[in-house]
Structure 1
Amino acid sequence: MLKQEIDTPALLIDIDLMEKNLETMASFFRGEKGTYFRPHYKTPKSPFLAAKQIESGAIGISCQKLGEAETLITAGITDVLITNEIVGDYKIKKLISLRKHAPGLMVCVDNIIPAKALSEEALKRGVKMPVLVDVNVGQNRCGVEPGKPAVDFAKEVSKLKGLELKGFQCYHGTLQVWDQRHGLEAKQQEMERSNGLIVETRESMEAAGLNTAIVSGAGTGTYKGQYHVMSEVQAGSYILMDWKYHITAPEFERALTVLTTVISTPARDRFVVDAGDKTASTDSGMPILKDVEGYEYGTAGDEHGILTPKEPSRELKIGEKLELYPSHCDTTINLYDRYYGIRDGEVEVVWPIAARGKSQ
């Protein structure tokens, strides 16, 4: 099937560009001994792409939700870090059930109450649950405070017989595109501050005799400036990218696009396409048109988008198929059931997005 024969809206991956991104990240870590990469699954949401990341050198996969982890483990990928807190009887029981099938499964903790519940359930099932202490190094979301509070909490966790302390997580998500909000100099300053907290926490934990074999964090926007204080990096968006993240990390190509059709041309200043709010997320900005210059995209409801000519390079035609670069790959991917992998203008493969909608 030719790319232009795909029904729209549809989510496309340029396979050549994706493979280039895989090699760019893998080659960086091949040259940096002592630090590994554990790509984040919250971006691609497909075990097929996760397997490609492992083939390129990743030591395992990280993910955000229990449902995401389940799709990985079902596909035979068992070295998985859940970079989030798991709370509540149902989720804890499900997590420990998955642990019995996945020897590499790990989870983060930042509160002693769910940590104790995890330990008790693990003991009931005859397993040990590997955990990382979640440490707040600037994200101000989950996580205990760095330094002494992290050490004190880690000591309590290490006493729980059903848990195995493996180290700590130190992800600073807002730092990834800090340069776009505050400038490069401010980003460098914040990164140095965050790195200092990571080093302080690691040294304090080691002085207390606590395990710090795993120090996990960083992302596509900070891996170059943080890998040296980590044992593993959680970069995720690099494999596919969006136009917004590409500004911060231009070494990675924009391999992901939304294929859309011009379905109405009611006026010379209004070209309507079939990609609206349900097909392209706008939480990080509007999509931008690929290959055709001089048009501005705006949403026009759930099912429609409008391309407004500013200084157009050419006029669009009814029935024409176009590609849009999304502004946020993670949230756009979550709207689709499958990827169409494109090479040389043809569909080479269709990959299911198994973790689409796995928000639990």
Structure 2
Amino acid sequence: MLEDSQDWYTVKGIETIDSPALLVYPKRVRNNIKQLKSMVSDPERLQPHVKTFKCREVVDMLMEDGISKFKCATIAEAEMLAMAGASEVLIAYPMVGPKVNRMIKLVLAYQDTQFSCLVDCPEQAQHLSDHTYQADVYLRIYVDLNVGTNRTGIAPDGGAMDLYDFCKTTSHLITMGLHIYDGHIRQLDLEKRKEKCDQAFEPVNRLIRTIKEKYGKDFNVIAGGTPTFPVHKDREGVICSPGTFAYWDKGYHDALPEQQFEYAAVLLCRVISRPAPNLICLDLGYKSIASEGTLESRTWFLEHPKWKILSHHEEHMVVDIGEDYLVVGQVVYAIPNHICPTVAMYDKVLTVMEGRLTGCWKTLSRKRKINI
């Protein structure tokens, strides 16, 4: 998408806004939602992940555009979605320990929302079945498949059918289908990414055929994240779960050039010191921006693309600015390399419309617990 102006991110009255702060541009968020919908034939093919934004306001925007199914990673995110009136919520995370009872309480408290979670081994399924039986609650589950990410899941050709069969026989568990996350597939070239994605999905296809032959029923297949979304969106019957699209970030902007989303979240920081003629220190430490990845890639300065980050600490970021000259107190705008963990550092984001601060959105589900 085209930028509406070169200085779209600047804010009038910036002197009243403390830093560091995360600014969000609702008009751009809406544009990104429309762009997402334009990439699929039917909104029912979408079950976006909410880990990026974690706020009710973006969920409301998505639901206004006909998207009512969501994916999340925490019980707090699931509760936020239920509070917003989501029809279906998949917690794409294994429920172990006290989370099992929290999940049951969630199902009982928000009965207008269909909740589900992941299972990747018989022990886990049995544990869920025992607890839901005791509570007299039926819980929807998806068998989680490992297609190479090696994070969670069971290999599709390594016992997944036996696990699927086992889940079907357990008490109080409703087996909804299969879940696949292939976050390791990130080739820059889309055709090469598609080739790797198709290779990883082939054993899944075989498993799907086996399940259909045995049970003769349709079931859900939820697959992929943002990198493989352009591939899975063309698979018949597959539901897609991109998430970063809402705010976008520099990492995916560079790694996924075929996806034309706009930056919709910007970090506001300030120069707090000039320790040397070519150096500035910004108030953009570990506690303000995700510190993963290489030092140089952690952020991109919108007006200063050639700056080089030299060091990063809890409250400080030291940058080599070359021959540029900035005074202490000067404002700097930056795009994070990874927006999702960056958002989790802010209890609220500040909204900007037409160059003016208009309010704030509470990052409600950055908390580990809302009510349940």
Structure 2-normalised TM-score? 0.88
Distance in 2 (CA, whole Å) between partners of 1:197 and 1:207 is 15
SS at match of 2:233: helix
1:266 Cα deviation from its structure 2 partner: 3.2
Contact 1:39 1:61 in 2 (8 A): yes
Distance in 2 (CA, whole Å) between partners of 1:38 and 1:356 is 20
- Amino acid in structure 1 at the alignment position of 2:290: S
Distance in 1 (CA, whole Å) between partners of 2:184 and 2:242 is 13
**Is 2:144 the partner of 1:134?**
yes
Distance in 1 (CA, whole Å) between partners of 2:298 and 2:64 is 34
Within 5 Å, give how 1:114-153 maps onto structure 2. 114-147=124-157, 149-153=159-163
How many aligned residue pairs are there?
351
Contact 1:26 1:57 in 2 (8 A): no
**Is 2:307 the partner of 1:295?**
yes
- Amino acid in structure 2 at the alignment position of 1:15: P
Query: What is the aligned partner in structure 1 of residue 22 from structure 2?
Result: 11
- Amino acid in structure 2 at the alignment position of 1:96: I
**Is 2:214 the partner of 1:216?**
no
1:237 Cα deviation from its structure 2 partner: 0.5
Distance in 1 (CA, whole Å) between partners of 2:232 and 2:198 is 9
Give structure 2 stretches of 5+ with no counterpart: 1-10
Which stretch shows the higher mean deviation, 105-114 or 186-195? Answer: 186-195
**Is 2:200 the partner of 1:194?**
yes
Query: What is the aligned partner in structure 2 of residue 93 from structure 1?
Result: 101
- Amino acid in structure 2 at the alignment position of 1:159: T
Query: What is the aligned partner in structure 2 of residue 169 from structure 1?
Result: 179
Query: What is the aligned partner in structure 2 of residue 65 from structure 1?
Result: 74
Contact 2:44 2:67 in 1 (8 A): no
CA deviation string 1:172-192 (max 9, x = no partner): 1111xx224xx5554232111
CA deviation string 1:313-360 (max 9, x = no partner): x52222111111111111111111111111121112300111214399
Distance in 2 (CA, whole Å) between partners of 1:195 and 1:126 is 36
Contact 2:232 2:238 in 1 (8 A): no
Which stretch shows the higher mean deviation, 190-199 or 330-339? Answer: 190-199
Give structure 1 stretches of 5+ with no counterpart: none
- Amino acid in structure 1 at the alignment position of 2:91: I
Distance in 2 (CA, whole Å) between partners of 1:321 and 1:126 is 57
Query: What is the aligned partner in structure 2 of residue 240 from structure 1?
Result: 247
Distance in 2 (CA, whole Å) between partners of 1:302 and 1:353 is 21
CA RMSD of aligned residues (A): 2.2
Query: What is the aligned partner in structure 2 of residue 205 from structure 1?
Result: 211
1:20 Cα deviation from its structure 2 partner: 1.2
Identity of aligned residues (%): 25
1:109 Cα deviation from its structure 2 partner: 0.6
Go from structure 1 to structure 2 and tell me whether the alpha carbon gap of 1:316 and 1:117 turns closer, same or farther (over 3 Å shift).
same
Which stretch shows the higher mean deviation, 244-253 or 149-158? Answer: 244-253
1:297 Cα deviation from its structure 2 partner: 2.9
Query: What is the aligned partner in structure 1 of residue 8 from structure 2?
Result: none
CA deviation string 1:66-119 (max 9, x = no partner): 23223332444352101111012x211110111122431111111112212212
Contact 1:35 1:233 in 2 (8 A): no
Within 5 Å, give how 1:15-94 maps onto structure 2. 15-29=26-40, 32-33=41-42, 36-77=45-86, 79-88=88-97, 90-94=98-102
Contact 1:243 1:325 in 2 (8 A): yes
Contact 2:182 2:228 in 1 (8 A): no
Distance in 2 (CA, whole Å) between partners of 1:211 and 1:87 is 29
Q: Choose from 284, 306, 309 the match for 2:318.
A: 306
Structure 1-normalised TM-score? 0.90
Which stretch shows the higher mean deviation, 289-298 or 212-221? Answer: 289-298
**Is 2:361 the partner of 1:354?**
no
Go from structure 1 to structure 2 and tell me whether the alpha carbon gap of 1:338 and 1:126 turns closer, same or farther (over 3 Å shift).
same
In the TM superposition, structure 1's runs of 4+ consecutive aligned residues that sit over 3 Å from their partners are: 74-78, 183-186
1:48 Cα deviation from its structure 2 partner: 1.8
Distance in 1 (CA, whole Å) between partners of 2:269 and 2:242 is 29
Contact 1:3 1:345 in 2 (8 A): no
CA deviation string 1:181-211 (max 9, x = no partner): xx55542321110222222221111111165
